[in-house]
Structure 1
Amino acid sequence: MPPADVIPEGGEAPPADVPGPLLTSGTSADVYALDDERVLRRYREGRDAAPEVALLRHVHAHGFPSPDVLDASGSDIVMTRLHGPTLLQALGAGEISLPDAAQVLADLHAGLHGVPAPESWKVAADHDWPSLSGGPVVVHLDLHPGNVILTESGPGVVDWANARTGTAELDVAITAVLIAEVVVDAGGDYSQAARVLLAAFLHASDVSPVPALEDAAGLRAVAPLLLPGERELVPQAAALVRAMVDVTAHP
Protein backbone atom coordinates (compact mmCIF):
# COMPACT_ATOMS: atom_id res chain seq x y z
CA MET A 1 0.00 0.00 0.00
CA PRO A 2 1.36 3.51 -0.78
CA PRO A 3 2.24 5.86 2.07
CA ALA A 4 -0.86 6.61 4.08
CA ASP A 5 0.01 10.01 5.48
CA VAL A 6 0.87 12.10 2.43
CA ILE A 7 -1.84 14.31 0.94
CA PRO A 8 -1.33 14.95 -2.78
CA GLU A 9 -1.29 18.57 -3.87
CA GLY A 10 -4.42 19.86 -5.49
CA GLY A 11 -6.69 17.26 -3.88
CA GLU A 12 -10.37 17.79 -4.62
CA ALA A 13 -13.00 18.24 -1.96
CA PRO A 14 -14.45 14.90 -0.86
CA PRO A 15 -18.01 13.77 -1.55
CA ALA A 16 -20.45 14.29 1.31
CA ASP A 17 -20.40 10.63 2.34
CA VAL A 18 -16.69 10.44 3.16
CA PRO A 19 -14.85 12.08 6.08
CA GLY A 20 -12.23 13.98 4.08
CA PRO A 21 -10.04 13.96 0.95
CA LEU A 22 -9.01 10.45 -0.06
CA LEU A 23 -5.24 10.13 0.28
CA THR A 24 -4.73 6.58 -0.89
CA SER A 25 -6.44 3.22 -1.29
CA GLY A 26 -4.88 -0.17 -0.68
CA THR A 27 -5.93 -3.79 -0.85
CA SER A 28 -8.24 -3.57 2.14
CA ALA A 29 -8.33 0.02 3.39
CA ASP A 30 -8.78 3.66 2.40
CA VAL A 31 -6.99 6.57 4.06
CA TYR A 32 -8.56 10.02 4.35
CA ALA A 33 -7.27 13.37 5.57
CA LEU A 34 -9.39 14.67 8.41
CA ASP A 35 -7.35 17.85 8.78
CA ASP A 36 -3.70 18.93 8.78
CA GLU A 37 -2.91 16.89 11.88
CA ARG A 38 -5.03 13.75 11.56
CA VAL A 39 -5.78 10.95 9.11
CA LEU A 40 -8.43 8.25 9.14
CA ARG A 41 -7.59 4.73 8.04
CA ARG A 42 -10.82 2.85 7.26
CA TYR A 43 -10.87 -0.84 6.40
CA ARG A 44 -13.36 -1.95 3.82
CA GLU A 45 -15.59 -4.98 4.41
CA GLY A 46 -15.57 -4.48 8.16
CA ARG A 47 -12.10 -5.77 9.05
CA ASP A 48 -11.46 -5.44 12.78
CA ALA A 49 -8.68 -2.88 13.26
CA ALA A 50 -8.18 -3.72 16.95
CA PRO A 51 -5.01 -5.88 16.50
CA GLU A 52 -3.34 -3.16 14.41
CA VAL A 53 -4.36 -0.50 16.92
CA ALA A 54 -2.89 -2.53 19.77
CA LEU A 55 0.46 -2.93 17.98
CA LEU A 56 0.59 0.71 16.91
CA ARG A 57 -0.03 1.91 20.45
CA HIS A 58 2.52 -0.57 21.72
CA VAL A 59 5.35 0.50 19.39
CA HIS A 60 4.52 4.18 19.85
CA ALA A 61 4.67 3.75 23.63
CA HIS A 62 8.13 2.21 23.19
CA GLY A 63 9.31 5.31 21.35
CA PHE A 64 9.35 3.90 17.84
CA PRO A 65 8.62 6.59 15.20
CA SER A 66 5.09 5.80 14.07
CA PRO A 67 1.70 7.53 13.98
CA ASP A 68 -0.01 7.93 17.32
CA VAL A 69 -3.49 6.40 17.52
CA LEU A 70 -5.91 9.11 18.61
CA ASP A 71 -9.13 7.15 18.35
CA ALA A 72 -10.28 3.79 17.02
CA SER A 73 -13.56 1.98 16.58
CA GLY A 74 -14.42 -1.10 14.56
CA SER A 75 -12.70 -0.78 11.19
CA ASP A 76 -11.62 2.87 11.69
CA ILE A 77 -8.33 4.22 13.06
CA VAL A 78 -7.72 7.95 13.57
CA MET A 79 -3.98 8.69 13.70
CA THR A 80 -1.62 11.62 13.76
CA ARG A 81 -0.43 12.65 10.32
CA LEU A 82 3.29 12.48 9.55
CA HIS A 83 4.47 15.35 7.34
CA GLY A 84 7.26 15.03 4.81
CA PRO A 85 8.29 13.20 1.65
CA THR A 86 8.55 9.45 1.59
CA LEU A 87 12.00 7.93 1.47
CA LEU A 88 11.12 6.80 -2.06
CA GLN A 89 10.26 10.35 -3.09
CA ALA A 90 13.49 11.66 -1.55
CA LEU A 91 15.48 9.07 -3.49
CA GLY A 92 13.75 10.04 -6.73
CA ALA A 93 14.48 13.72 -6.11
CA GLY A 94 18.13 13.07 -5.30
CA GLU A 95 17.68 14.39 -1.76
CA ILE A 96 19.24 11.30 -0.17
CA SER A 97 21.83 8.84 -1.42
CA LEU A 98 21.15 5.13 -1.88
CA PRO A 99 23.60 4.11 0.90
CA ASP A 100 22.03 6.62 3.29
CA ALA A 101 18.54 5.38 2.41
CA ALA A 102 19.66 1.82 3.05
CA GLN A 103 21.00 2.87 6.45
CA VAL A 104 17.65 4.49 7.27
CA LEU A 105 15.88 1.21 6.49
CA ALA A 106 18.38 -0.82 8.50
CA ASP A 107 18.14 1.54 11.49
CA LEU A 108 14.34 1.44 11.44
CA HIS A 109 14.40 -2.36 11.40
CA ALA A 110 16.84 -2.44 14.29
CA GLY A 111 14.72 0.00 16.29
CA LEU A 112 11.49 -1.85 15.66
CA HIS A 113 12.98 -5.22 16.50
CA GLY A 114 13.98 -3.81 19.85
CA VAL A 115 10.29 -3.60 20.70
CA PRO A 116 9.18 -6.82 22.42
CA ALA A 117 5.98 -8.52 21.35
CA PRO A 118 3.10 -7.39 23.58
CA GLU A 119 1.83 -10.05 25.94
CA SER A 120 -1.31 -11.89 24.86
CA TRP A 121 -1.49 -10.08 21.50
CA LYS A 122 -3.22 -12.16 18.84
CA VAL A 123 -3.51 -11.56 15.13
CA ALA A 124 -6.97 -10.97 13.70
CA ALA A 125 -8.80 -14.04 12.46
CA ASP A 126 -9.10 -12.51 8.97
CA HIS A 127 -5.41 -11.57 8.73
CA ASP A 128 -3.88 -12.08 5.29
CA TRP A 129 -1.26 -14.50 6.64
CA PRO A 130 -2.94 -16.67 9.28
CA SER A 131 -0.32 -19.41 8.96
CA LEU A 132 2.45 -17.37 10.60
CA SER A 133 2.95 -18.33 14.21
CA GLY A 134 4.29 -15.07 15.62
CA GLY A 135 7.55 -14.35 17.38
CA PRO A 136 9.38 -12.41 20.08
CA VAL A 137 9.32 -8.90 18.56
CA VAL A 138 7.03 -6.58 16.62
CA VAL A 139 7.52 -6.74 12.84
CA HIS A 140 6.13 -4.48 10.11
CA LEU A 141 6.37 -6.86 7.13
CA ASP A 142 6.08 -4.02 4.60
CA LEU A 143 8.96 -1.74 5.57
CA HIS A 144 10.09 -0.31 2.24
CA PRO A 145 11.00 3.24 1.07
CA GLY A 146 7.40 4.07 0.18
CA ASN A 147 6.29 3.49 3.78
CA VAL A 148 8.94 5.67 5.40
CA ILE A 149 8.11 9.37 5.90
CA LEU A 150 11.06 11.74 6.34
CA THR A 151 9.65 14.18 8.88
CA GLU A 152 11.50 17.17 10.33
CA SER A 153 12.19 15.14 13.48
CA GLY A 154 13.39 12.05 11.62
CA PRO A 155 12.08 9.05 9.69
CA GLY A 156 8.70 7.61 10.64
CA VAL A 157 6.98 4.44 9.48
CA VAL A 158 3.39 4.25 8.20
CA ASP A 159 1.02 1.56 6.89
CA TRP A 160 0.92 -1.02 9.67
CA ALA A 161 -1.70 -3.23 8.02
CA ASN A 162 0.66 -6.23 7.88
CA ALA A 163 2.22 -5.67 11.31
CA ARG A 164 2.25 -8.53 13.79
CA THR A 165 4.63 -10.34 16.08
CA GLY A 166 7.43 -12.30 14.44
CA THR A 167 11.17 -12.50 13.97
CA ALA A 168 13.66 -9.87 12.90
CA GLU A 169 14.94 -12.24 10.22
CA LEU A 170 11.54 -12.44 8.54
CA ASP A 171 11.02 -8.67 8.62
CA VAL A 172 14.45 -8.01 7.08
CA ALA A 173 13.89 -10.76 4.52
CA ILE A 174 10.55 -9.27 3.43
CA THR A 175 12.18 -5.86 2.87
CA ALA A 176 15.07 -7.43 0.98
CA VAL A 177 12.73 -9.40 -1.30
CA LEU A 178 10.59 -6.31 -1.95
CA ILE A 179 13.65 -4.38 -3.13
CA ALA A 180 14.96 -7.36 -5.08
CA GLU A 181 11.71 -7.62 -7.01
CA VAL A 182 12.48 -4.20 -8.48
CA VAL A 183 16.00 -5.37 -9.34
CA VAL A 184 14.89 -8.49 -11.25
CA ASP A 185 12.13 -6.70 -13.15
CA ALA A 186 13.82 -6.60 -16.56
CA GLY A 187 11.49 -3.88 -17.79
CA GLY A 188 11.88 -1.71 -14.73
CA ASP A 189 13.41 1.76 -14.89
CA TYR A 190 14.93 1.55 -11.42
CA SER A 191 16.59 -1.85 -11.53
CA GLN A 192 20.18 -0.67 -11.14
CA ALA A 193 19.38 1.79 -8.36
CA ALA A 194 17.44 -0.93 -6.54
CA ARG A 195 20.43 -3.27 -6.82
CA VAL A 196 22.65 -0.68 -5.14
CA LEU A 197 20.01 -0.07 -2.45
CA LEU A 198 19.65 -3.80 -1.81
CA ALA A 199 23.40 -4.37 -1.50
CA ALA A 200 23.72 -1.41 0.86
CA PHE A 201 20.74 -2.56 2.95
CA LEU A 202 22.13 -6.09 3.32
CA HIS A 203 25.49 -4.65 4.33
CA ALA A 204 23.96 -2.21 6.82
CA SER A 205 21.64 -4.71 8.48
CA ASP A 206 22.85 -6.56 11.56
CA VAL A 207 20.37 -9.34 10.81
CA SER A 208 20.77 -11.88 8.01
CA PRO A 209 17.60 -12.50 5.99
CA VAL A 210 18.75 -15.95 4.86
CA PRO A 211 17.06 -18.05 7.61
CA ALA A 212 13.68 -16.53 6.70
CA LEU A 213 14.04 -16.14 2.92
CA GLU A 214 11.82 -19.09 2.08
CA ASP A 215 9.04 -17.82 4.33
CA ALA A 216 9.41 -14.28 2.98
CA ALA A 217 9.18 -15.47 -0.61
CA GLY A 218 6.12 -17.55 0.26
CA LEU A 219 4.38 -14.54 1.77
CA ARG A 220 5.21 -12.31 -1.17
CA ALA A 221 3.98 -14.95 -3.61
CA VAL A 222 0.46 -14.75 -2.16
CA ALA A 223 0.35 -10.95 -1.79
CA PRO A 224 -3.09 -9.95 -3.11
CA LEU A 225 -1.91 -6.94 -5.15
CA LEU A 226 0.67 -8.83 -7.22
CA LEU A 227 -0.18 -9.51 -10.85
CA PRO A 228 0.77 -12.91 -12.34
CA GLY A 229 3.85 -11.46 -14.05
CA GLU A 230 4.96 -9.78 -10.85
CA ARG A 231 4.37 -12.95 -8.87
CA GLU A 232 6.81 -14.76 -11.15
CA LEU A 233 9.55 -12.36 -10.07
CA VAL A 234 9.40 -13.44 -6.42
CA PRO A 235 11.54 -16.63 -6.70
CA GLN A 236 14.13 -14.71 -8.72
CA ALA A 237 14.12 -11.95 -6.13
CA ALA A 238 14.67 -14.39 -3.26
CA ALA A 239 17.50 -16.10 -5.15
CA LEU A 240 19.13 -12.71 -5.76
CA VAL A 241 18.95 -11.81 -2.07
CA ARG A 242 20.63 -15.10 -1.16
CA ALA A 243 23.36 -14.56 -3.75
CA MET A 244 23.99 -10.98 -2.63
CA VAL A 245 24.21 -12.00 1.03
CA ASP A 246 26.94 -14.45 0.01
CA VAL A 247 28.76 -11.72 -1.93
CA THR A 248 28.64 -9.29 0.98
CA ALA A 249 29.90 -12.07 3.29
CA HIS A 250 27.19 -11.37 5.84
CA PRO A 251 27.86 -13.18 9.11
Structure 2
Amino acid sequence: MHPGDVAPHGSAPAADVPGHLLTSGTWADVYALDDERVLRRYREGRDASPEVELLRHVRAHDFPAPDVLDAHGSDIVMNRLHGPTLLQALGAAEITLADAAQVLADLHHLLHDVPAPEGWGSATARDWPALAGGPVVVHLDLHPGNVVLTEHGPTLVDWANARAGHAELDVAVTALLVAEVAVDAGGDYSQAARALLAAFLHASQVSPRAAIDDAAGLRSVTPGLLAGERELVPRGAALVRSLLDLTGS
Protein backbone atom coordinates (compact mmCIF):
# COMPACT_ATOMS: atom_id res chain seq x y z
CA MET A 1 0.00 0.00 0.00
CA HIS A 2 1.30 3.42 -0.94
CA PRO A 3 0.40 6.71 0.81
CA GLY A 4 -1.97 7.48 -2.04
CA ASP A 5 -3.92 4.33 -1.30
CA VAL A 6 -5.07 5.65 2.07
CA ALA A 7 -8.48 7.27 2.08
CA PRO A 8 -8.70 10.71 3.69
CA HIS A 9 -9.53 10.57 7.38
CA GLY A 10 -13.28 10.48 7.93
CA SER A 11 -14.11 9.77 4.29
CA ALA A 12 -17.78 9.03 3.86
CA PRO A 13 -18.72 5.86 1.95
CA ALA A 14 -20.72 5.82 -1.22
CA ALA A 15 -24.35 4.84 -0.88
CA ASP A 16 -23.74 1.20 -1.81
CA VAL A 17 -20.90 0.44 0.62
CA PRO A 18 -21.22 -0.71 4.22
CA GLY A 19 -19.05 1.76 6.10
CA HIS A 20 -16.23 4.30 6.04
CA LEU A 21 -13.55 3.60 3.46
CA LEU A 22 -10.28 3.01 5.30
CA THR A 23 -7.91 2.05 2.50
CA SER A 24 -8.05 1.35 -1.21
CA GLY A 25 -5.35 -0.72 -2.90
CA THR A 26 -4.70 -2.36 -6.24
CA TRP A 27 -7.23 -5.15 -5.85
CA ALA A 28 -9.57 -4.31 -3.00
CA ASP A 29 -11.16 -1.70 -0.73
CA VAL A 30 -11.33 -1.96 3.05
CA TYR A 31 -14.31 -0.55 4.97
CA ALA A 32 -14.87 -0.13 8.69
CA LEU A 33 -17.99 -2.04 9.75
CA ASP A 34 -17.59 -1.06 13.40
CA ASP A 35 -14.81 -0.71 15.96
CA GLU A 36 -14.10 -4.45 15.91
CA ARG A 37 -14.57 -5.48 12.27
CA VAL A 38 -13.56 -4.48 8.76
CA LEU A 39 -14.78 -5.63 5.36
CA ARG A 40 -12.20 -6.25 2.66
CA ARG A 41 -14.02 -6.26 -0.70
CA TYR A 42 -12.31 -7.23 -3.94
CA ARG A 43 -13.25 -5.20 -6.96
CA GLU A 44 -14.38 -6.68 -10.30
CA GLY A 45 -15.83 -9.74 -8.62
CA ARG A 46 -12.45 -11.31 -7.83
CA ASP A 47 -12.77 -14.48 -5.76
CA ALA A 48 -11.50 -13.90 -2.22
CA SER A 49 -11.30 -17.61 -1.32
CA PRO A 50 -7.52 -18.02 -1.99
CA GLU A 51 -6.76 -15.16 0.41
CA VAL A 52 -9.19 -16.56 2.96
CA GLU A 53 -7.59 -20.01 2.75
CA LEU A 54 -4.09 -18.66 3.27
CA LEU A 55 -5.14 -16.32 6.07
CA ARG A 56 -6.77 -19.16 7.97
CA HIS A 57 -3.75 -21.35 7.29
CA VAL A 58 -1.18 -18.87 8.63
CA ARG A 59 -3.36 -18.05 11.64
CA ALA A 60 -3.53 -21.78 12.41
CA HIS A 61 0.27 -21.60 12.57
CA ASP A 62 0.10 -18.59 14.94
CA PHE A 63 1.40 -16.09 12.41
CA PRO A 64 0.32 -12.50 13.22
CA ALA A 65 -2.34 -11.74 10.60
CA PRO A 66 -6.00 -10.66 10.77
CA ASP A 67 -8.56 -13.28 11.76
CA VAL A 68 -11.21 -14.12 9.16
CA LEU A 69 -14.63 -13.79 10.79
CA ASP A 70 -16.74 -14.40 7.69
CA ALA A 71 -16.20 -14.65 3.94
CA HIS A 72 -18.33 -14.92 0.83
CA GLY A 73 -17.53 -14.33 -2.82
CA SER A 74 -15.48 -11.13 -3.07
CA ASP A 75 -15.92 -10.17 0.60
CA ILE A 76 -13.84 -10.97 3.68
CA VAL A 77 -14.88 -9.79 7.15
CA MET A 78 -11.88 -9.60 9.49
CA ASN A 79 -11.09 -8.28 12.92
CA ARG A 80 -10.17 -4.62 12.89
CA LEU A 81 -6.58 -3.82 13.84
CA HIS A 82 -5.81 -0.71 15.86
CA GLY A 83 -2.48 1.05 15.69
CA PRO A 84 -0.26 2.87 13.20
CA THR A 85 1.32 1.18 10.24
CA LEU A 86 5.07 0.72 10.38
CA LEU A 87 5.26 3.37 7.65
CA GLN A 88 3.31 5.83 9.78
CA ALA A 89 5.45 5.06 12.82
CA LEU A 90 8.60 5.71 10.79
CA GLY A 91 7.19 9.00 9.52
CA ALA A 92 6.38 10.07 13.07
CA ALA A 93 9.82 9.00 14.36
CA GLU A 94 8.15 6.54 16.72
CA ILE A 95 10.49 3.74 15.64
CA THR A 96 14.07 3.75 14.40
CA LEU A 97 15.05 2.58 10.93
CA ALA A 98 17.07 -0.27 12.45
CA ASP A 99 14.12 -1.45 14.54
CA ALA A 100 11.76 -1.16 11.56
CA ALA A 101 14.13 -3.25 9.46
CA GLN A 102 14.20 -5.89 12.19
CA VAL A 103 10.39 -5.97 12.25
CA LEU A 104 10.34 -6.68 8.51
CA ALA A 105 13.04 -9.34 8.81
CA ASP A 106 11.31 -11.01 11.77
CA LEU A 107 7.97 -11.18 9.95
CA HIS A 108 9.67 -12.83 6.97
CA HIS A 109 11.36 -15.34 9.25
CA LEU A 110 8.10 -16.19 11.02
CA LEU A 111 6.15 -16.47 7.78
CA HIS A 112 8.66 -18.69 6.05
CA ASP A 113 8.37 -21.15 8.92
CA VAL A 114 4.77 -21.73 7.76
CA PRO A 115 4.59 -24.60 5.23
CA ALA A 116 2.52 -24.10 2.11
CA PRO A 117 -0.96 -25.64 2.37
CA GLU A 118 -1.03 -29.20 1.10
CA GLY A 119 -1.94 -29.33 -2.57
CA TRP A 120 -1.66 -25.57 -3.00
CA GLY A 121 -1.40 -24.74 -6.70
CA SER A 122 0.82 -22.31 -8.55
CA ALA A 123 -0.20 -18.86 -9.77
CA THR A 124 -3.04 -18.44 -12.22
CA ALA A 125 -2.74 -16.80 -15.62
CA ARG A 126 -4.26 -13.65 -14.12
CA ASP A 127 -1.70 -13.45 -11.36
CA TRP A 128 1.93 -13.71 -12.50
CA PRO A 129 1.71 -16.81 -14.72
CA ALA A 130 5.48 -17.40 -14.65
CA LEU A 131 5.56 -17.72 -10.86
CA ALA A 132 5.99 -21.31 -9.71
CA GLY A 133 4.96 -22.61 -6.32
CA GLY A 134 7.22 -23.43 -3.41
CA PRO A 135 7.48 -25.03 0.03
CA VAL A 136 6.41 -22.12 2.23
CA VAL A 137 3.84 -19.33 2.38
CA VAL A 138 5.07 -16.05 0.90
CA HIS A 139 3.36 -12.67 1.10
CA LEU A 140 5.00 -10.86 -1.85
CA ASP A 141 3.91 -7.43 -0.60
CA LEU A 142 5.58 -7.21 2.80
CA HIS A 143 6.53 -3.56 3.25
CA PRO A 144 6.09 -0.93 6.00
CA GLY A 145 2.65 0.14 4.75
CA ASN A 146 1.30 -3.40 5.22
CA VAL A 147 2.50 -3.88 8.80
CA VAL A 148 0.20 -2.63 11.57
CA LEU A 149 1.80 -2.05 14.98
CA THR A 150 -0.95 -3.26 17.31
CA GLU A 151 -0.77 -3.50 21.08
CA HIS A 152 -0.14 -7.22 20.59
CA GLY A 153 2.76 -6.69 18.20
CA PRO A 154 3.35 -6.20 14.46
CA THR A 155 0.60 -7.72 12.28
CA LEU A 156 0.82 -8.28 8.53
CA VAL A 157 -2.14 -7.25 6.34
CA ASP A 158 -3.12 -7.23 2.63
CA TRP A 159 -2.67 -10.86 1.59
CA ALA A 160 -3.87 -10.43 -2.01
CA ASN A 161 -0.51 -11.53 -3.47
CA ALA A 162 0.19 -14.32 -0.98
CA ARG A 163 0.73 -17.86 -2.19
CA ALA A 164 3.13 -20.81 -1.99
CA GLY A 165 6.67 -19.85 -2.92
CA HIS A 166 10.28 -19.50 -1.86
CA ALA A 167 11.62 -17.35 0.96
CA GLU A 168 14.32 -15.80 -1.25
CA LEU A 169 11.73 -14.34 -3.61
CA ASP A 170 9.64 -12.93 -0.77
CA VAL A 171 12.67 -11.20 0.76
CA ALA A 172 13.74 -9.95 -2.68
CA VAL A 173 10.33 -8.38 -3.31
CA THR A 174 10.45 -6.54 0.02
CA ALA A 175 13.98 -5.33 -0.70
CA LEU A 176 12.93 -4.13 -4.15
CA LEU A 177 9.85 -2.31 -2.85
CA VAL A 178 12.02 -0.36 -0.42
CA ALA A 179 14.73 0.16 -3.04
CA GLU A 180 12.27 1.72 -5.47
CA VAL A 181 11.60 4.44 -2.91
CA ALA A 182 15.32 4.84 -2.33
CA VAL A 183 16.15 5.41 -6.01
CA ASP A 184 13.30 7.87 -6.58
CA ALA A 185 15.30 11.10 -6.80
CA GLY A 186 12.16 13.19 -6.43
CA GLY A 187 10.91 11.30 -3.41
CA ASP A 188 10.78 12.76 0.08
CA TYR A 189 11.94 9.56 1.73
CA SER A 190 14.74 8.37 -0.57
CA GLN A 191 17.57 8.72 1.94
CA ALA A 192 15.63 7.05 4.74
CA ALA A 193 14.55 4.24 2.41
CA ARG A 194 18.15 3.54 1.45
CA ALA A 195 19.11 3.27 5.12
CA LEU A 196 16.10 1.05 5.80
CA LEU A 197 17.03 -1.19 2.87
CA ALA A 198 20.62 -1.60 4.07
CA ALA A 199 19.42 -2.41 7.58
CA PHE A 200 16.84 -4.89 6.27
CA LEU A 201 19.37 -6.74 4.12
CA HIS A 202 21.68 -6.93 7.14
CA ALA A 203 18.89 -8.20 9.43
CA SER A 204 17.42 -10.74 7.02
CA GLN A 205 18.29 -14.38 7.64
CA VAL A 206 17.79 -15.11 3.92
CA SER A 207 19.80 -13.54 1.10
CA PRO A 208 17.59 -12.36 -1.77
CA ARG A 209 20.44 -12.29 -4.31
CA ALA A 210 19.32 -15.34 -6.32
CA ALA A 211 15.77 -14.00 -6.65
CA ILE A 212 16.35 -10.34 -7.53
CA ASP A 213 15.71 -10.86 -11.25
CA ASP A 214 12.49 -12.75 -10.53
CA ALA A 215 11.34 -10.05 -8.11
CA ALA A 216 12.05 -7.36 -10.70
CA GLY A 217 10.10 -9.35 -13.28
CA LEU A 218 7.09 -9.53 -10.97
CA ARG A 219 7.25 -5.86 -10.08
CA SER A 220 7.52 -4.82 -13.73
CA VAL A 221 4.13 -6.36 -14.51
CA THR A 222 2.38 -5.22 -11.34
CA PRO A 223 -1.01 -3.68 -12.22
CA GLY A 224 -1.37 0.00 -11.47
CA LEU A 225 2.29 0.96 -11.81
CA LEU A 226 2.74 4.17 -13.77
CA ALA A 227 5.47 4.48 -16.40
CA GLY A 228 7.68 6.52 -14.07
CA GLU A 229 7.21 4.00 -11.27
CA ARG A 230 8.00 1.11 -13.59
CA GLU A 231 11.29 2.76 -14.51
CA LEU A 232 12.31 2.61 -10.85
CA VAL A 233 12.22 -1.22 -10.83
CA PRO A 234 15.54 -1.94 -12.62
CA ARG A 235 17.24 0.89 -10.76
CA GLY A 236 15.96 -0.49 -7.48
CA ALA A 237 17.18 -3.98 -8.39
CA ALA A 238 20.63 -2.56 -9.15
CA LEU A 239 20.71 -0.84 -5.74
CA VAL A 240 19.81 -4.08 -3.95
CA ARG A 241 22.62 -5.90 -5.78
CA SER A 242 25.13 -3.16 -4.96
CA LEU A 243 24.28 -3.25 -1.25
CA LEU A 244 24.53 -7.05 -1.23
CA ASP A 245 27.95 -6.76 -2.90
CA LEU A 246 29.09 -4.39 -0.17
CA THR A 247 28.14 -6.86 2.54
CA GLY A 248 29.14 -9.98 0.63
CA SER A 249 25.66 -11.45 1.13
Letter in 1 for 2:213: E
Gaps of 5+ in 2: none
Give 1:124 deviation, angstroms.
6.6
Equivalent pair of 2:123/2:132 in contact (CA under 8 Å): no
What CA distance in whole angstroms lies between the structure 2 residues aligned with 1:88 and 1:126? 32
* 1:126 CA drift (Å): 5.7
1:16 to partner: Cα distance: 3.5
2:115 aligned with 1:116: yes
Listed one character per residue, the Cα deviations across residues 180-207 of structure 1 (whole Å, up to 9, x for unaligned) are: 0011111111111011100000000010
Deviation (angstroms), 1:233: 1.1
Residues in 1 aligned to 2:15 and 2:10: alpha-carbon distance in whole angstroms = 18
Structure 1 position 101, deviation (Å): 0.3
What TM-score comes out, normalization by structure 1 length? Answer: 0.94
User: What is aligned with 1:39?
Assistant: 38
What are the residue-to-residue correspondences of 1:125-140 with 2, within 5 Å?
A: 125=124, 127-140=126-139
Instruction: Say if 1:56 and 1:67, in contact at 8 Å, map to a contact too.
Output: yes
Shift of 1:230: 1.1
Contact 1:137 1:167 in 2 (8 A): yes
1:217-246, CA deviations, whole angstroms, 9 ceiling, x for partnerless residues?
Answer: 000111112110111111111011011011
Query: How many Å apart are 1:121 and its aligned residue?
Result: 2.0
Q: How many residues align?
A: 247
When normalised by structure 2's length, the TM-score is 0.95
Corresponding residue of 1:167: 166
- Share of identical aligned residues, percent? 77
Question: Structure 2 CA distance, aligned partners of 1:33 and 1:174?
Answer: 29
Aligned match of 1:19: 18
Alignment of 1:141-220 (within 5 A): 141-220=140-219
Query: What SS class does the counterpart of residue 243 from structure 2 fall into?
Result: helix
| CA distance in 2: counterparts of 1:187 and 1:79, whole angstroms | 37
Q: Distance in 2 between matches of 1:203 and 1:167?
A: 19
Unaligned runs of 5+ in 1: none
Q: Which residue of 2 is the match for residue 53 of structure 1? A: 52
Supply the AA of the counterpart residue of 2:152.
S
CA–CA distance in structure 1, aligned partners of residues 164 and 142 of structure 2: 14
Q: Give the Cα–Cα distance (whole angstroms) in 1 for the partners of residues 108 and 136 of structure 2.
A: 11
Does the aligned pair in 2 maintain the 1:29–1:41 contact within 8 Å?
yes
- Helix, strand or coil at the partner of 1:96: coil
Q: CA RMSD in A?
A: 1.6
How far 1:249 moved relative to its partner?
Answer: 2.2
Q: Work out whether residues 39 and 79 of structure 1, in 8 Å CA contact, stay in contact via their aligned partners in 2.
A: yes
From the superposition, tell whether residues 31 and 126 of structure 1 become closer, same or farther in structure 2 (CA, over 3 Å).
farther
Partners of 1:124 and 1:202 in 2: how far apart? 27
Name the counterpart of 2:240: 241
The DSSP-based 3-state class of the residue aligned with 1:57 is: helix
1:2 and 1:24 in contact (8 A); partners too: no
Give the whole-Å Cα distance in 2 for the aligned partners of 1:15 and 1:242. 45
Residues of 1 paired with 2:61 and 2:87: CA distance? 26
Structure having greater relative contact order (Cα 8 Å, sep ≥ 6): 1
Distance in 1 of aligned mates of 2:7 and 2:82: 9
Q: How far apart are residue 128 of structure 1 and its match? A: 2.2
Question: CA shift at 1:7, angstroms?
Answer: 8.2
